[in-house]
Amino acid sequence: MADRDIQENTRTTDTVPAAEPPGAPGGSREESDMERRRRRAQFLRELNEAKELRDRVQPRRARAARMRQQMRMRTFRW
């Protein structure tokens, strides 16, 4: 019995708290929107950094990708 109680307690402390419903009073909607934008900006910064690192590590592949992009731009029609 005591083991089950300990397991249940550890499960509840490890989970992320549930977000408030969208119609909840207060500024939770604005906070969550700001938090989402902050996380998105952080993700995009890390993604850009990873792309730059890949280009430095694999210069031949990066050059080929640039050439393909240039060909796409040349053949693009308005």
The parent domain of residue 51 ranges over: 36-78
Cβ–Cβ under 8 Å, residues 63 and 70 = no
Residue 39's pLDDT is what? 96
Per-residue pLDDT of 59-69, as tens digits, reads: 898 899 899 99
Residue 27's pLDDT is what? 63
pLDDT > 80? residue 32: yes
Residue 64 lies in a domain: yes
- Alpha-carbon span 11 to 3, nearest angstrom: 12
Residue 48 lies in a domain: yes
Residue 65 lies in a domain: yes
Sequence-separated contacts (24+) of 44-50 with Cβ below 8 Å: none
Residue 57's pLDDT is what? 92
Cα–Cα distances (Å) from 26 to 29, 30, 70, in that order, read: 8, 9, 50
Residue 10's pLDDT is what? 47
Residue 1's pLDDT is what? 45
**pTM, 2 dp:** 0.46
Domain total for the chain? 1
